[in-house]
Structure 1
Amino acid sequence: MKVFLYIFVWFFIFLIVSASADPLKDTLLKMKDKSSSSLGMINLDALPGRNQSRGGMQRTSSKAVLATVNGHTIRKRDADKYLKKITKGKIKDYDRLPPKQKRMLLSDLKKMYKIKYFRGRPGNTVIGTYAKGKPVYKKEADAYIKKVTKNKIKDIDRLPRKQRLLVLKDLQRKYKIEHFKGRPKNTIIATVNGHDIYKREADAYIKKVTKNRIKDFDRLDEKQRYLLVKDLAKPMIVKNAIDANVTEMEKEEIFKQMWLGKQRAKIQVSNEEMLTLYEAKKTQILASDPQAKIPTYISLGNSLKNEIIENKIMSNLMKDVNITINFDGNESIENNDSNKSLVKLDKI
């Protein structure tokens, strides 16, 4: 009977132990599964379990200093807090981590502290030079980077070296533009076939073609200057060719046609005027030859218009002309009304 009771008691204890071990195992498995989706650096399998005696785990004071970054200490309580945050409360003690994972967690904390407690160089630090050796101070770069990033970055030392060099180049370029001083206006910038081109001509031309965006020829680079001088030289080359190949009489005829073209553009001719001239010419032709074939009004449109325009131009030119005719015997007749004189001459 005692043997049976002894066996029954041990069997009951075995059932209790098995029942309590299963929930703990399930909990650890769930923690393991969930930990894989949080931060990969925490390996729950390597942590000391509940069956490990607490006397065997080395305990560290919460005030213990683990590292120092820019004069700010990282204590164990900071590591515990960070560990609790990234594991969502599953692990709260830094001492439970293996050595490798401790180093990884501490490395992450150091990076965070470097960003949080960043300390750049003083504002009066010289980071480069402008033209003629003028120093570029860090405070100028800080103000520039703060402006271009809209206050997102306020210290140039936060940027990588390559980006810091780009900021310095921008400051140097900006300084060069603001303190630019070109040559005097009467400087000869080029000579084309013996004809000097002055800087004031180039300045006026570049100001016109860029719509006042650039006002000084000396702001252009070498290639742009060469192209601009070529543009300025074209009228001179054409003029030299005209002088060498066109006679004075031909020039006068060209100028005359140009002037007449401008006058024609200003004069308006109505359909009524053209129709009146057409009917007058038609009547005149039929009076001399009743059988004559008269062209249609539409076919004579352009010639009628040109004739009216030329008549108007000449009428405007002659209205203020003072004509004096010298006759035999040194007698002269003055007449300011040139139109009436022409009418009288037509009747002679």
Structure 2
Amino acid sequence: MRKIAVAAGMSFGILVSSLSADILKTHLSHMVHEKDATPGMVDLSRLDMPIGGPVKSRSSHAVIATVDGYKIRKKEADAYIKSRTKGKITDFDALPKDQQLRLVRELSLPLLMASQAKKELSEQEKEGAYVSAWIRKQAAKVTVTDAEVQMLYNQLKQKAMERNATNTILPPFESVKNKMKSQILEKKIMDGLMKDVKIEVAAPTALPPMMIRKP
């Protein structure tokens, strides 16, 4: 059997099969707490309230709460509150009891949503969530400048002029800039995914001479 090694794109199906369910939880968590999302449940204006005296901080591995069987460790709560307060508060145990409860409730949201998603979403819907999370993660690493978009726009405009496409009206740059930027971003992500990937394509097995029909 002859095999041909070719550099080509990797299918999303192959990618999805290697992703863990934790990605879904992370994706949902980011959606809940991203910058422009609905304000969180924790009252940040009161997080610097004294709680009435020094409190001994527990170990970072201590379990501070249990949500549907999932144990939330203090280090998770510490990291989360540090992020939410931009470093203003770094110790979960320094919060008043009511604030601790509110923080745990907020931390629980992505866990509960992920649990329900696993039960209610079809395999196809789960794969879509995994792919969306992966693309979003990659998009955060890729930069597309206005200069790149302008260059692509100019190239398309030049090609249109070379074809003497007098009936083709190219939309103004500003009206298509964001869409073109998304297309360039997608291409960069796909190019990175395809880089150095090898796929072996198996050629069909040749039939024995006796089985070949003569005209």
TM-score of the two chains, using structure 2 as the length reference: 0.52
Flag the 1:209–1:309 CA change in 2: closer, same or farther, 3 A. closer
Residue 251 in 1 paired to residue 125 in 2?
no
Superposition map of 1:1-348 within 5 A: 176-177=53-54, 180-210=55-85, 212=87, 214-246=89-121, 247-259=125-137, 261-262=139-140, 266-268=143-145, 269-281=148-160, 283=162, 293-298=167-172, 301-302=176-177, 303-329=179-205
- 8 Å contact from structure 2 (residues 139, 189) kept in 1: no
Decide whether the 8 Å contact of 1:282 with 1:294 is kept in 2: no
Evaluate the alpha carbon distance shift between residue 198 and residue 255 of structure 1 in structure 2; reply closer, same or farther with a 3 A threshold. closer
TM superposition shift of 1:266: 0.9
Higher relative contact order (CA 8 A, sep 6+): 2
d(CA) in 1 for partners of 2:93, 2:182: 50
Q: CA deviation at 1:274?
A: 1.5
- Deviation for aligned residue 1:229: 1.4
Read off the aligned partner of 2:73 and give its amino acid letter. Answer: Y
C-alpha spacing 1:189/1:260, structure 2 compared with 1 (3 Å): closer
For the residue of structure 1 that corresponds to 2:98, the secondary structure is: helix
Distance 1:310 1:213 in 2: 37
CA contact (8 A) 1:274 1:308 kept: no
CA gap of 1:283–1:318, structure 2 versus 1, over 3 A, is farther
1:207·1:214 contact (CA, 8 Å) conserved in 2?
yes
Q: Is the 8 A contact 2:157 2:170 kept in 1?
A: no
User: Residues of 1 paired with 2:188 and 2:87: CA distance?
Assistant: 42
Letter in 2 for 1:294: T
How many residues align? The count is 148
Determine the C-alpha separation between the residues in 2 that align with 1:267 and 1:237.
35
* Inter-CA distance 294–305: structure 2 relative to 1 (3 Å threshold): farther
The superposition leaves residues 83-142 of structure 1 with CA deviations (integer Å, 9 ceiling, x where unpaired) of xxxxxxxxxxxxxxxxxxxxxxxxxxxxxxxxxxxxxxxxxxxxxxxxxxxxxxxxxxxx
The Cα of 1:279 is off from its aligned counterpart by: 2.8
* Structural RMSD (CA): 3.4
SS at match of 2:58: coil
Counterpart residue number, 1:95: none
CA contact (8 A) 1:277 1:304 kept: no
Q: Is there any run of 5+ residues in structure 1 with no aligned partner, and where?
A: 1-172, 331-348
Distance verdict in 2 for CA 1:250–1:212, change over 3 Å: closer
- Which consecutive unaligned segments of at least 5 residues does structure 2 have? 1-51, 207-215
- Letter of the 1:249 counterpart: E
Partner SS, residue 202 of structure 1: helix
TM-score w.r.t. length of structure 1:
0.35
Letter in 2 for 1:266: T
TM superposition shift of 1:307: 4.3
Identity %: 28
Q: How far apart are residue 297 of structure 1 and its match?
A: 4.2
Cα distance in 2, alignment partners of residues 305 and 181 from structure 1? 51
Q: 1:159 matched to which residue of 2? A: none
Cα distance, 1:277 vs structure 2:
2.2
Tell me, yes or no, if the aligned pair for 2:66 and 2:72 is still in contact at 8 Å. yes
Q: 1:306 to 1:254 in 2, by over 3 A?
A: closer
